[in-house]
Amino acid sequence: MTLLIKNGTVVTAERTFAGDVLIEGETIRDVHPGIAAEPAHQVFDASGMLLLPGGIDAHTHLDMPFGGTTSSDDFETGTRAAAIGGTTTIVDFAIQGRGTKMRDALDTWWKKAEGKACIDYGLHMIVTDLPEAGLEDMDGMVREGVASFKLFMAYPNVLMVDDATIFRALQQTSKNGALICMHAENGSVIDVIVRQALAQGKTAPIHHALTRPTTAEAEAVHRAIAMAEIAGVPVYIVHLSSEDALNQVREARDRGLPAFAETCPQYLLLSLEDMQRMPGFEGAKYVFTPPLREKQNLPKLWDGLKKDNLQVVSTDHCPFCFEDQKALGKDDFTKIPNGGPGIENRLQLLHHYGVNAGKITLNRFVEITSTAPARIFGMWPKKGTIAPGSDADIVVWDPKAEHTISAKTHHMRVDYSMFEGFRVSGNARQVFSRGELIVDQGRFIGGAGRGRYLRRAARGGAWS
């Protein structure tokens, strides 16, 4: 089937131009103004609309076990909500259990997605231990298209690995071309502070935030980048949340190091002060890691995005219902499952509070939500742009559509929204995934299980 999207304004990371888009099957064939419609073409009118490359959320946790429970969105409900918000690709995290093979985790996560994923998905591998054979295991993962690994400097005795493990993983990527992603917080120091807080009877949700200083994040970011520098490889810091941590990335980039970092909408738009205003146990809705920071950090993160010291905005979508899951930590903040929902609202929030507010350009908006993650994670130019040869993942974006974010109307399977009542201008009107119309006027009309696993390329090229 040949589809012709006419009269739209194409927005890529580089430019904005009036252009028609010709799609044959799953692929974009041609992009330029005035493509003539032929009788066999199905014509779609996009007058007054922007055409954006489908959003790429490089950090999600669907159907993920954590602290005795499981994140409330599975691959079906999570990717459906993502699609409605204009995201056509996610990269989720498989978790290697300690003492097990990464291969087993990959099989487990493929099964979680099978028959459910509504959009295309890749997988990162979380490494929890790395015996000698684990290095070959990493190479095997790269051959399966798992071109990135995440290691934790936080959560001692659960996910945290020592510096030797991190360094060996970094060194291995100089051979296999994968990218190491770091959860950078000094978990050992934080653990001491947490124990002291609990001993003083400080059990409320706010103490989750107060026991994780920004300096503990900055120290770990510094250490991660230093180890990557010694190993001579790039590194990517996930969910960077504070000015202190950003300074470390900027300093490294100023020296020409291939250090990359992402932040998330919650760190750009919500603050510790907002959490402090929450009555009772409500603050548990904002218990995630790193935590919300004092509000003076917010403009610094926007500035980091503008100046390319931060390259990507992802969501770290990891929803837990307030009523029965967050409640596990009613008497002890350390028992609150860590994570918050956001997979559906990333483009709406970034467009409104970034583009409409004059903080970033429309092209930069496309870059940080689609093009940069495609490049960094080995999916470009199949994903992340509107150009001949690329997958026809296209969002028909109505820049004037008014929308109020609310748990009452959202599609994520979770009973609250971190952005309840936020009013935004700009929303996805239609969404095409590989040429198929999967969202029309806010309604998902695609099928579950249509999403495909993406074999991502090592050495994505963002640093070459």
Binding site for Zn ion (CB under 5 A): 316
Rounded least distance, CB 289 to Zn ion, Å: 8
Residue with smaller CB distance to Zn ion, 219 or 316: 316
Residue with smaller CB distance to Zn ion, 262 or 316: 316
Rounded least distance, CB 47 to Zn ion, Å: 39
Residue with smaller CB distance to Zn ion, 57 or 436: 57
State the Cα–Cα distance between residues 22 and 393, nearest whole angstrom: 12
Rounded-to-10 torsion of CA 374, 106, 334, 208: -10
Rounded least distance, CB 287 to Zn ion, Å: 13
Residue with smaller CB distance to Zn ion, 60 or 385: 60
Rounded least distance, CB 150 to Zn ion, Å: 8
Burial label for 136, CB within 10 Å (0-12, 13-18, 19+), is exposed
Residue nearest to Zn ion (CB): 316
Phi then psi for residue 206, to 5 deg, are: -60, -25
The CA-CA-CA angle for residues 347, 221, 276, to 5°, reads 60
Per DSSP, the residues of 193-262 read HHHHHHHTT--STHHHHHTS-HHHHHHHHHHHHHHHHHHT--EEE-S---HHHHHHHHHHHHTT--EEEE
Rounded least distance, CB 98 to Zn ion, Å: 18
- Distances, alpha carbon 334 to alpha carbons 152, 204, 433, in Å: 17, 9, 40
Question: Coil, strand, or helix at residue 103?
Answer: helix
Rounded least distance, CB 148 to Zn ion, Å: 13
State the Cα–Cα distance between residues 426 and 420, nearest whole angstrom: 17
Residue with smaller CB distance to Zn ion, 316 or 344: 316
Residue with smaller CB distance to Zn ion, 214 or 266: 266
Packing angle, helices 214-231 and 187-199, rounded to 10: 160
State the Cα–Cα distance between residues 318 and 288, nearest whole angstrom: 9
Residue with smaller CB distance to Zn ion, 120 or 316: 316
Rounded least distance, CB 59 to Zn ion, Å: 6
Say if CB 362 and CB 350 are below 8 A apart.
Answer: no
